[in-house]
Amino acid sequence: MLTNTDAAKEQLAEILSAQLQQNGDFLAQTRAHQFSMPAYSFILANSPSGNKIQVKVLATGIICFEPLDIVTSKDIVLSSAIHGNETAPIEICTSLIKQLILGELELSTRVLFLFGNPPAINIGQRFVEENLNRLFSGGHGIDQASLQKSDACLINKERHRALLLENTVTDFFEQGDKNSATSSNSRERFHYDLHTAIRGSKNDKFAVYPFRHGKPWVKEQLQFMQACGVNTILLSNSPTTTFSYFSSNNFGAHAFTVELGKVKPFGENDMSNFSGVSQSLANLISGKPLVLKAFNTQDFNLFKIDRVIDRQHQNFVLHFADDVENFTDFPVGTLLATDGDIEIKTEKAGEAIIFPNANVAIGQRALLTVVPTSL
């Protein structure tokens, strides 16, 4: 027997389903229901090829597309808004979702879209209480089995959201294996976590390639990044609590944290600057040929992480201006920061800064330094 609450949820789900099929605007629904959205699903029959597509809205900001009439071999996760004020990736994903729903883009594979932090989107801030991109791979401190917090951490909505996002990606990849007519080893998994940086960069777009635990860097993936307009790649050398590392490490997904320019408010992004990434992602989703240039290491700016500098004291100061860009290098011996009484200076020729942020919580990363490298 349905309760009044259950009946209201069913009614809302029907309304949302009808609205989404009409206008394709999943971001608007996500923002209107930032904490809770009823799950619903429907079948689309308006794809360019006529193939039917199952659409499942699983929760606020989480929507999955799966073609029903063809055998698929890829499982793709596209996430944005892990930081709520990084609007360009949100707009890119919003457009792709709308094109799929309105029958303007073919679908050849399973795709999961995630708007990571809807409440942070609505306040136009990086996060509400805690940096969501530091809460994966155990960073949320919630035990998967009991869903209880550890004694050592404070559980907030962003930690619960990180757990939900992890579980959703896990279910998505595992369901792809169950539905596959071939072995799971033959399916390709992808996760592109789309961001924009707090400050500008000498290299406007760049990507962080998660640590691969001794497995080789995949050149074809670097070629795909190049097709997206991203030729500066930072090769990570250790495990992290980022979302892209979670998918890479747990599921063997081809994964990147992709930084697309600088943070700007909605409506102020020059979307033509992201035509390469928008078109490449559309081609990947639709099964169109990917336009990949032959690999040439000279086409890339490759860096490796040299030092991770965590803030240890209340008195933490960066000794360069707020407008100094990512990938700016300094002469050896330059004072970069002071952390309490500790002076942090450049140690190597070509050592450059990336992701500097003096306002992080104590114990979190305040700065990376990187040095040029090669494959």
For residue 143, the one-letter residue type is D
Burial class of residue 294 in the structure, from the number of CB atoms within 10 Å of its CB (0-12 exposed, 13-18 middle, 19+ buried): exposed
Sheet with strand 316-318: strands edge to edge? 316-318, 335-339, 342-345
Question: Residue 104 region, left (φ>0) first, then alpha (ψ -120 to 50), else beta?
Answer: alpha
The C-alpha angle 213, 217, 221, rounded to 5 degrees, equals 130
Cβ density class 163-173: b for 16+ within 10 Å, e for less: bbbbebbeebb
DSSP-assigned letter for residue 314: S
Instruction: Give the residue from 102, 88, 85, 136 showing the smallest Cα distance to 23.
Output: 102
Burial of 284 (0-12, 13-18, 19+ CB in 10 A): buried
Q: Say which residue the tokens 């605007």 belong to.
A: 25
256, 225 in Cβ contact below 8 A? Answer: yes
User: What's the CA gap between 317 and 211, in Å, rounded?
Assistant: 29
In degrees and rounded to multiples of 5, residue 208 shows phi and psi of -100, 120
Q: Which of 259, 325, 347, 351 is catalytic?
A: 259
Parallel, antiparallel, or unpaired: how do β-strands 74-80 and 110-115 relate? parallel
φ, ψ for residue 85, nearest 5 deg: -95, 5
129 catalytically annotated: no
Question: 185 by DSSP, 3-state: which?
Answer: helix
Closest CA to 63 of 102, 105, 30: 30
* Strand spans (E) along 170-272: 188-197, 205-209, 232-235, 254-262
Distance CA 141, CA 362 (A): 17
- Active site residues per annotation: 259
